[in-house]
Amino acid sequence: MPKLSGPELVAAATKHVPHLKAMYISGYVHEETQHTADAGVYLQKPFTPDVFKAKLDEILALTGSS
């Protein structure tokens, strides 16, 4: 994203939707994202559909969603 980083976008969006959940997905490891993203909500590219589903299941379990 040329104008905002992922953490900046999430910060702006959660001002309007406070309970918004976000998962950071990137092919690059940015120090800012690593420090800003909560543990368990970061997925490194490339990944398989099974890894993606497992990460979503993990995050939903952490947030108490089903």
pTM over 0.85: no
Helix (H) or strand (E) holding 26: strand 24-26
| 28 is a domain residue | yes
| 1 is a domain residue | no
The structural domain count of the chain equals 1
| Tally of CB atoms within 10 A around 55 | 17
| 48 is a domain residue | yes
Which two structure tokens, joined as six digits, stand for 16?
């309007």
Q: What is the pLDDT along the chain (66 residues), one digit of tens a residue?
A: 688 888 888 889 999 998 888 888 888 766 555 555 555 578 889 999 999 999 899 888 877 765
| 25 is a domain residue | yes
Contact status, residue 42 vs residue 34, Cβ threshold 8 Å: yes
pLDDT at residue 33, rounded to an integer: 57
Cα 26 to Cα 40: distance, rounded to the nearest angstrom: 14
**Boundaries of domain holding 16:** 6-63
Pick from 31, 32, 62, 56: which is nearest to 43 by CA?
56
